Every structure is written in structure tokens, then in C-alpha cells.
Amino acid sequence: MTAILPKLRTPQDLRGLSIGQLLTLAGEIRAAITGQIANSGGHLAPNLGVVELTIALHYVFDFGHDRLLFDVGHQCYPHKLLTGRLPLLSKLRTREGMAGFPEPRESPFDLFAVGHAGTGISTAVGVARGDALNKEGFDPRTNPTGRRVVTLIGDASIVNGVAMEGLNNAGTLKRQFLVVLNDNGMSISKPQGALSHYFDKLRLSHAYADFKKSAKEALKGLPGGEKLREAYHKLGEAGKAVTNETAWFEHFGLVTVGPIDGHDLPRLIEYLREARDFDRPMVLHVHTVKGKGYEFAEEDSTRFHSPPAFRVDGGLEQGCRVELKSEGRSFTAAFADAMIDVMERDAKVVTCTAAMPDGTGLNKVMPRFPERSWDVGICESHALDMMAGLAKTGWKPFFAVYSTFLQRAFDQAFQEASLQGLPVRLCLDRAGLVGGDGAVHHGFCDIALLRTLPGAVVTAAIDEPSLRGALEFMRGYDAGLSAVRYPRDTVSDRVPAGCPPFVLGKARFLGGSLPEDPLRDAGAAAPDVAILAFGTLAITALEAAAGVPEARVAVYDARFAKPVDLDLIRELLTRHVPVITIEDHSVVGGFGAAMVDAAQEMGLDTSRITRLGLPDRWVYQDSRSRQLAEVGLDASGIAGAIRTAIAPREIATAAMNPRIS
């Protein structure tokens, strides 16, 4: 049989296929996605779960004209394959290939670059209002050819506060607006909170199967808006008893239908055809299985949410043992072990995460300390406020969160933590460039955000011993908010074992081309250049220094971006040593900016300071190593900066000592 997927150029091609061919296509999409992720890594289980749903949406709606907006964008792979991007799949999550999230630069079918949960409903409300103002919105009576709006929300992001705000406003729309709730009973890991348990109860009720039959009959053959509304109300109290969540969504003013089977393609098409012409906001509750189609992904959808490359013994179809590719010990694993150690030594330490126990390493911590650790679901703002409440009552809270997701809780870091002088501790995983997840997940602005908060302390780890040192420092820091940042990377053993204790606002000499810190001895010759690196790029700086043997380079682990080491910067600049600051963070408002600010406040000349960091532009998906090279933060780029920094001194020396020919 000839494959269907390679022949698809646009979603229009779907409409010439039979239901049987659509089911065949679903299998081909699953095989293509799974085969590629086995080679390269990527988001697997979430995409396997929405294949039939995505096919049905594109079969019923015309998203070249209508609007489709994603919420958690990691469910977009089937959508991308149906919109002509199969040729990009082989280079998934690289610059030359397909981004792992919706990406408007790739296709007009992607309206927003999406990587944070809860946003889909609100942006869809804005698009719906904009189309209405432009006289382009669908209305079954006055503009039947207008644009319809659909938003797909799932992976438990419905519990996010932004989603709640969006639902609240969506209910005020006076037009067609469809929210497809992809309820797979999972977030990245098992979802948390009362609402998720509510949906669990609904899915497990005996009424679920009965409703699928009764609702199909009640809605069967109805052409659209008015009839669908009548059918909904005719279900009466019996119907509402079956669809328990209807009462909940109706508080927001949205009619709700479901749950329906998200893998029953013919039934999905029937329901979507009815919903397509409905003239008021509606929620279609769809129940799917995360990881659908492959037993290993269904049984361990958390592990296969976003796995690295993997191999299945016996092949994907009948394999029974899966081996994930390992690239070494990660900072996440190092953090988990360090956090366990801290909690064993201090009974007042508590910790939480926001739907990321696996991603942050707390999945290893939580079974050991079930009474002192929590997963609050996709609710970063709540998590930080809860940590502030714990700090207020005398506990020592550590909030493990990706740097990019901390942005969702900055207001709480300001108001409930920093303003109150409360010692909430932030553990910022995935700080800096994150590789294949790309721009939506880069942790590029946490330093700039947290530096603004009075009394806050911002530190960084360069390896596992320093991560443990930073956590121990934070455990004892009670004067206000504190944070440690570390990347999505493996830990290095480049620096000899052992880590001096962290001292507030003090850097650490690492080496370079000098065996000892030249600033310890006032009579010693100054280095040709000093590198102050914040975070793991200090390791790269050591490598770069070794590549410039003609220069005497002193490399320092800055340790703190707030407060910075004033004594060190004063000593270097008064001795006219060129200084290079390095960070895996935006140059705007980052560590280098903090160094320049401090120097200016001390009345020092800042003209010899060179700042290396992420440029003021977006860095798109690729491997982390290629991203660092692109922005000049690899060993070669840093070595080039060293040569540039010492060039003025070499020129001046040559002018004072001209060669005699």
C-alpha cells in the first residue's frame, strides 16, 4: 500500500480521504514521530496522544482561513506533519529542521510561538475579538464564510491561572469560539490539584460510556448552532448529571459537551462538525491517552514525555525493553541528590515544584520526604506564594523551577517574597540556552529580573560541588530572596574536587594560565586579562585560556551576580587589567551589566570591561553546543575575546619598546 503521509501537502488533501485512509494516516504519523524521536529526542507521549484529534480538527476546519491556537505547544507535531512539514522532521529541533513548538517563522498555520502553559484561551479570545472588529469573524447568519476560532488546551494546563482568566473572559464572547480540552489525565507527570481529581472522577464514572451513546443520539443529524443549543438544553438535568463538569464550565458561560473518546476518529469528526457552526463559546471535552499507540509510551508517559534518543529492543511495535541514551550526569540529577542531603540535615527545609518533578529532579526527593515536598501542578505563581507562606511560618522553602517558568511567578517573587523580606529560595534549572526546545524555553532573563529586587541574592553553580555549596549557602541565608541557576547540561569534573564555602558577594579564583591568584600578592605582576564568568561558562573559560598561551589569563568563578565582588573589580580596574565578563544570559541587565554598574558607582573606568553573553535577539532551536558557538560563548569565541582584550596592551607595549631594524 502506498504511504499517505508523504503525499500530503496541505490539510485540504485530507478531505479527499476516506475514514479508513484517515486511520491509516494516523498510524503513519505515529510511526514517523516515534521513529524520529528515537533518533533525536523530542516530545513523544503528548504528540502520540493527539493524532486522531489533530486529524479530525484539520478535516473539519480550514485552518488556512480559520484560526487554530495551541496552548502547551509540545502537542503540535501531528499538526506540523499535516501542514506540509514532513521534510523538516528529519532535523527535528535543529536550526535546519522543524521546531519542537509552534513556530510562525515555519508556517502561516502556526499563529504564535508557544511554550508556556495556559496562554491558548486568552490569545484565542483576542484573535476572536480582533476578527469580529475586522468584520471577519464567523457568524452563521450574517457572515457564514467568516473565520472560526479553535484553541487546543491540554496536558493539565486547564488548571493554570492564566487559563482560568481566559475562560472567564471567553464566556463573554457573542460569537463562535471552541475550546478543545484534551484531557489525558496527565500533565508532564501526574497532574495535581482538586480540578484534576475532578476530571479523574468524571472519566472513571459509569456514566461516561452511557453519555457517549446518548450524546451521539441527541446531537445526531443536527446542522449547527441553534439546533445544537436546543439539543444541549433538551438533555436537561439528566444530561447535566452525566456531564458533571458542565456545571463547572457553565460558571464561565461556556456550553460544554463531553467527555468523548479522543481516539474515535469518526465520532470526533461528527462532534466537531456540529461544534463548527455553533454560535456561542463551547468547550468540547475530549479524553485521550498520552503515548497512544506504543505500549512503552502509554505505560510510562512521564518518562516518554520528552525523552532523549532511545532504543527499543525488538523494534518499536513489539519491543519490551527501552533504553534511553545517556550523555552523563545532569545538573538535574546532581540537584536531586544535593537537595536530599540538605533535607536530611535540616528538618526545616521544604521544597516544591510546579508540575515538573521529573524535570527538576524532585521526583527523587518527594518519596523520601512526602510531608515536606509538593507538586502543585502547572501553577508557578501559586507555588511561589505558597513558599512565601511557608517562609513566614518559619520553614526554609526551596522552589525548584525552570528559569523560563519563573517568569510566570515574578510578581510573587516581588510582592510576597522580596517585599516582605522572606527567605524564599529559588532553584533555577534550565538557566541559559536550552538546546532543542529553543527560544520559548531559554532561561535568558532571570538575572535581570531578580537583580531588581532589593535584598535578593543571585548565585550560580559551575559543577556539582559548587551546586551543593550554593544550596548550603542559601539554606543559611535568611535576609531575603535567594536563587541559584544551573543549565540543562551535564556536570563537569574539570575543576578539582572540593569547593570552598560560598561567601556572600565573593568570587573564587579558578586558574587559567596562572597557577595562583595574582591579586593575592600586591607586588605580583597583574594578569594580561581577567575573566569573571558567572556559571558553567567558567569551565569553558578555562579551556579558552589554555588556547591563548601567549597571554597571562586569570579566570574567576564570579559566583554572585548580586551582590558582585566589589573588591575584585576594584583591584582589577585600578591595576588597569582588561576584564571580560561571561554569562549564559542576556547581556541586557545581566551579570556583566551588574559589574559595569558596580564599577561606575565606585568611579572606576569601565572602558576595559568586555561583556560576553546572549545577544539582544532570539536564539532559535539547535543543540546547546551549536547555540553557544553561534553567540560566541564557546571556547573559540571566548579565546577570540581574550586576544581582542589584550591587543591594546600589546600595541601600547610595542609603542614604548620599538624594534630596531
Residue 234, domain CATH: 3.40.50.970
- Of the candidates 147, 175, 292, 408, the residue annotated as catalytic is 408
Residues 563 and 443 in one domain: no
Can you give the C-alpha Rg of the chain in angstroms?
28
User: Which one is predicted more confidently, 380 or 297?
Assistant: 380
Q: In the predicted model, is pLDDT for residue 207 greater than 60?
A: no
Q: What is the pLDDT of residue 190?
A: 52
- Asked if residue 504 is part of any domain, the answer here is no
Identify whether the C-beta of residue 84 lies closer than 8 Å to the C-beta of residue 13.
no
Cα(589)–Cα(451) distance, integer angstroms: 8
User: Which one is predicted more confidently, 386 or 297?
Assistant: 386
Residues 263 and 158 in one domain: yes
pLDDT digits (tens, 9 = 90+) for 123-168: 999 999 999 999 999 999 999 999 999 999 986 678 788 888 999 9
Q: Tell me whether residue 9 is one of the annotated catalytic residues.
A: no
Identify whether the C-beta of residue 110 lies closer than 8 Å to the C-beta of residue 92.
no
Q: What is the pLDDT of residue 304?
A: 85
* Residue ending a domain, choose from 485, 505, 535: 485
Q: In the predicted model, is pLDDT for residue 242 greater than 70?
A: no
- Max distance between CA atoms of the chain, in angstroms, equals 104
Q: What is the pLDDT of residue 212?
A: 39
Identify whether the C-beta of residue 211 lies closer than 8 Å to the C-beta of residue 243.
yes
Cα(88)–Cα(268) distance, integer angstroms: 28
- Bridge-based pairing state of the strands 281-287 and 508-512: unpaired
Contacts of 384 (CB under 8 A, 6+ apart): 399, 409, 412, 413, 416, 417, 424
Neighbouring C-beta atoms of residue 605, cutoff 10 Å: 11
Cα(29)–Cα(8) distance, integer angstroms: 11
pLDDT band at 244 (very low <50, low <70, confident <90, very high): very low
- Asked if residue 542 is part of any domain, the answer here is yes
Cα(217)–Cα(223) distance, integer angstroms: 14
- Asked if residue 314 is part of any domain, the answer here is no
**Any idea which of 233-242, 287-296, 457-466, 472-481 has the lowest mean pLDDT?**
233-242
Over range 447-473, report the average pLDDT: 97
Q: In the predicted model, is pLDDT for residue 89 greater than 50?
A: yes
Q: How far apart are the first and last CA of the chain?
A: 82
* Residue ending a domain, choose from 460, 485, 510: 485
Q: What is the pLDDT of residue 514?
A: 87
Q: In the predicted model, is pLDDT for residue 38 greater than 60?
A: yes
DSSP character at residue 387:
H
How many Å separate Cα 588 from the centre of its chain?
21
Cα(450)–Cα(458) distance, integer angstroms: 7
Residues 198 and 148 in one domain: yes
Identify whether the C-beta of residue 450 lies closer than 8 Å to the C-beta of residue 481.
yes
pLDDT digits (tens, 9 = 90+) for 537-585: 999 999 999 999 999 999 999 999 999 999 999 999 999 999 999 999 9
pLDDT band at 248 (very low <50, low <70, confident <90, very high): low
Neighbouring C-beta atoms of residue 320, cutoff 10 Å: 9
User: Which one is predicted more confidently, 572 or 655?
Assistant: 572
Q: What is the pLDDT of residue 299?
A: 80
DSSP character at residue 658:
P
pLDDT digits (tens, 9 = 90+) for 339-381: 999 999 999 999 999 989 999 999 999 999 999 999 998 899 9
**Any idea which of 106-115, 286-295, 345-354, 586-595 has the lowest mean pLDDT?**
286-295
Q: In the predicted model, is pLDDT for residue 22 greater than 80?
A: yes
Q: What is the pLDDT of residue 268?
A: 95
Residues 483-492 as b or e (16 or more Cβ within 10 Å = b): bbbbbbbebb
- What cell numbers appear for 258 in the block? 463531553
Q: What is the pLDDT of residue 309?
A: 87
Among residues 440, 490, 484, which one has the least CA distance to residue 466? 484
Residues 470 and 531 in one domain: no
Place of cell 485552518: 63
What are the backbone angles phi and psi of residue 528, rounded to the nearest 5°? -70, -35
Residues 43 and 146 in one domain: yes
Cis omega (within 30 of 0) for bond into 259: yes
Over range 609-621, report the average pLDDT: 96
Among residues 153, 121, 123, which one has the least CA distance to residue 253? 121
Cα(170)–Cα(54) distance, integer angstroms: 22
Residues 247 and 172 in one domain: yes
Q: What is the pLDDT of residue 155?
A: 64
Identify whether the C-beta of residue 560 lies closer than 8 Å to the C-beta of residue 504.
yes
Q: In the predicted model, is pLDDT for residue 216 greater than 90?
A: no
Cα(51)–Cα(76) distance, integer angstroms: 10
Q: What is the pLDDT of residue 259?
A: 85
Over range 606-617, report the average pLDDT: 96
Q: What is the pLDDT of residue 328?
A: 86
- Report the DSSP beta bridge partners of residue 373: 351
Q: What is the pLDDT of residue 32?
A: 95
pLDDT band at 72 (very low <50, low <70, confident <90, very high): confident
Among residues 39, 35, 59, which one has the least CA distance to residue 48? 35
Over range 471-494, report the average pLDDT: 96
Mind giving me the DSSP string for 245-287?
Answer: HHHHHHTTT-EEEEEEETT-HHHHHHHHHHHHT-SSEEEEEEE
Cα(404)–Cα(430) distance, integer angstroms: 8
pLDDT band at 229 (very low <50, low <70, confident <90, very high): very low
Q: In the predicted model, is pLDDT for residue 501 greater than 90?
A: yes
The type of residue at 109 is F
Among residues 426, 458, 431, 403, which one has the least CA distance to residue 593? 458
- Asked if residue 494 is part of any domain, the answer here is no
Residues 268 and 339 in one domain: no
Q: What is the pLDDT of residue 659?
A: 44
Residues 101 and 206 in one domain: yes
pLDDT band at 203 (very low <50, low <70, confident <90, very high): very low
User: Which one is predicted more confidently, 516 or 129?
Assistant: 129
Q: What is the pLDDT of residue 314?
A: 64
Q: In the predicted model, is pLDDT for residue 214 greater than 80?
A: no
- Of the candidates 52, 245, 274, 380, the residue annotated as catalytic is 380
Identify whether the C-beta of residue 271 lies closer than 8 Å to the C-beta of residue 262.
no
Cα(519)–Cα(526) distance, integer angstroms: 7
pTM of the prediction? 0.85
What are the backbone angles phi and psi of residue 223, rounded to the nearest 5°? -80, -20
Q: Tell me whether residue 325 is one of the annotated catalytic residues.
A: no
What are the backbone angles phi and psi of residue 70, rounded to the nearest 5°? -90, 155
DSSP character at residue 502:
P
pLDDT band at 205 (very low <50, low <70, confident <90, very high): very low
Q: What is the pLDDT of residue 316?
A: 64
Task: State whether residue 539 is helix, strand or coil.
Answer: helix
pLDDT band at 116 (very low <50, low <70, confident <90, very high): confident
Identify whether the C-beta of residue 415 lies closer than 8 Å to the C-beta of residue 599.
no
Q: What is the pLDDT of residue 30?
A: 95
What are the backbone angles phi and psi of residue 429, rounded to the nearest 5°? -75, 160
| Percent of the chain predicted with pLDDT > 70 | 86
Q: What is the pLDDT of residue 250?
A: 73
Q: What is the pLDDT of residue 651?
A: 47
- Of the candidates 148, 175, 276, 290, the residue annotated as catalytic is 290
pLDDT band at 117 (very low <50, low <70, confident <90, very high): confident
- Asked if residue 80 is part of any domain, the answer here is yes
Cα(319)–Cα(316) distance, integer angstroms: 5
Over range 380-403, report the average pLDDT: 96
Number of domains in the chain: 3
Residues 425 and 276 in one domain: no
| Ranges of H-type helices in 43-97 | 45-48, 51-60, 77-82
Q: Which domain holds residue 449?
A: 331-485
How many Å separate Cα 161 from the centre of its chain?
17
Identify whether the C-beta of residue 241 lies closer than 8 Å to the C-beta of residue 207.
yes
Query: Angle at CA 622, nearest 5°, toward 621 and 624?
Result: 110
- Asked if residue 299 is part of any domain, the answer here is no
Q: In the predicted model, is pLDDT for residue 236 greater than 60?
A: no
Q: What is the pLDDT of residue 158?
A: 81
Identify whether the C-beta of residue 443 lies closer than 8 Å to the C-beta of residue 454.
no
pLDDT band at 187 (very low <50, low <70, confident <90, very high): very low
What are the backbone angles phi and psi of residue 370, rounded to the nearest 5°? -65, -25
Contacts of 258 (CB under 8 A, 6+ apart): 181, 215, 243, 283, 284, 285, 286, 287
For residue 528, give the CATH number of its domain.
Answer: 3.40.50.920
Task: State whether residue 284 is helix, strand or coil.
Answer: strand
Three-state SS sequence of 606-633: CCCEEEEEECCCCCCCCCHHHHHHHCCC
Cα(453)–Cα(592) distance, integer angstroms: 17
Three-state SS sequence of 1-43: CCCCHHHCCCHHHHHHCCHHHHHHHHHHHHHHHHHHHHHHCCC
Residues 558 and 648 in one domain: yes
- Asked if residue 355 is part of any domain, the answer here is yes
- What cell numbers appear for 436 in the block? 532543542
Average pLDDT, rounded, for the chain: 87
- Asked if residue 237 is part of any domain, the answer here is yes
Over range 589-616, report the average pLDDT: 97
Q: Tell me whether residue 608 is one of the annotated catalytic residues.
A: no
Identify whether the C-beta of residue 488 lies closer than 8 Å to the C-beta of residue 434.
yes
Residues 594 and 650 in one domain: yes
Q: What is the pLDDT of residue 221?
A: 41
Q: What is the pLDDT of residue 209?
A: 38
Residues 373 and 225 in one domain: no
- Report the DSSP beta bridge partners of residue 147: 137
